[in-house]
Amino acid sequence: MKTKIHCDSANYKIIKHFNKKKIVDGFTTNPSLMRLSGAKNYKDYSLKILKICKKKPISFEVFADSPKEMLKQAYKINKWGKNVYVKIPVVNSKGIFMGSVIRELSSKGIKLNITAVYTFKQVNRIFKCLNKKTKTIISIFAGRMSDKGKDPLPIFKKSISLTKKIKNIEILWASTRESYNYIQAKQIKCNIITMPPKIINQIGSFGKSYQALTLDTVKGFLVDSKKSRFTI
């Protein structure tokens, strides 16, 4: 099974670049990435992106906090394009599970990306809310777990085991920290991994010998020393 690669960016130029690359199967965005990319009007900026990304799946997230407003935004975002997945956080800022939102949207065939997931209990609750005929991504934040000293692999393995027989439900490895995470995602047969552009580029160096890596490292030290004009 292929582990698909999504590019985690809302930068227009970066999406335009990677949209042409076969290595990238789709894109993920969030309100923080949109802000970082200079978006002033959420809809206008998203539609600008969709003019260049017309076929590959792309996730746009709601930014409301109440279930009622999330639903309003979700219905609007869904209309932006056939390749759009509507991103819904598993809970709102008060810690309330957004099951009612997930259930309603999924029942109406709206493609979803459920985000900010950290536990198998959350995955299981999401799973029970889904119309299994509706395409859904469940994004588990591996990197942020690792940052806090927690091993994400057991949660992924249980989640993949739960969903593997449902072709429309995919588990996504989110908050990727290093290129080796791609190897880990492949080993556990994770459906998708989303990565920042820098890490996607690093995958191109896979297969280099240790000798080549040693030379690259030493040459880098030499270049920086000469540029700095160090003396002792």
Place of tokens 């690093």: 202
Considering the domain boundaries, does residue 27 fall inside one? yes
Considering the domain boundaries, does residue 118 fall inside one? yes
Query: In this structure, what is the dihedral angle of CA atoms 187, 188, 193, 196, given to the nearest 10 degrees?
Result: -50
Check which CATH number belongs to the domain holding 131 and give it: 3.20.20.70
Q: What is the pLDDT of residue 208?
A: 84
Q: What is the percent of the chain with per-residue pLDDT over 90, rounded to a whole number?
A: 95
Which residue range forms the structural domain that includes residue 114?
Answer: 4-202
pTM across the whole model: 0.93
Residues 176 and 180: their CA atoms lie apart, in Å, by 9
Q: What is the pLDDT of residues 120-148, one digit of tens each?
A: 999 999 999 999 999 999 999 999 999 99
Considering the domain boundaries, does residue 223 fall inside one? no
Domain count along the chain: 1
Considering the domain boundaries, does residue 177 fall inside one? yes
Q: What is the pLDDT of residue 230?
A: 87
Q: What is the pLDDT of residues 210-223, one digit of tens each?
A: 998 899 999 999 99
Per-residue pLDDT 10s for the chain (232 aa) are 899 999 999 999 999 999 999 999 999 999 999 999 999 999 999 999 999 999 999 999 999 999 999 999 999 999 999 999 999 999 999 999 999 999 999 999 999 999 999 999 999 999 999 999 999 999 999 999 999 999 999 999 999 999 999 999 999 999 999 999 999 999 999 999 999 999 999 997 788 889 988 999 999 999 999 999 988 9
Considering the domain boundaries, does residue 56 fall inside one? yes
Considering the domain boundaries, does residue 193 fall inside one? yes
7, 24 in Cβ contact below 8 A?
yes
Considering the domain boundaries, does residue 190 fall inside one? yes
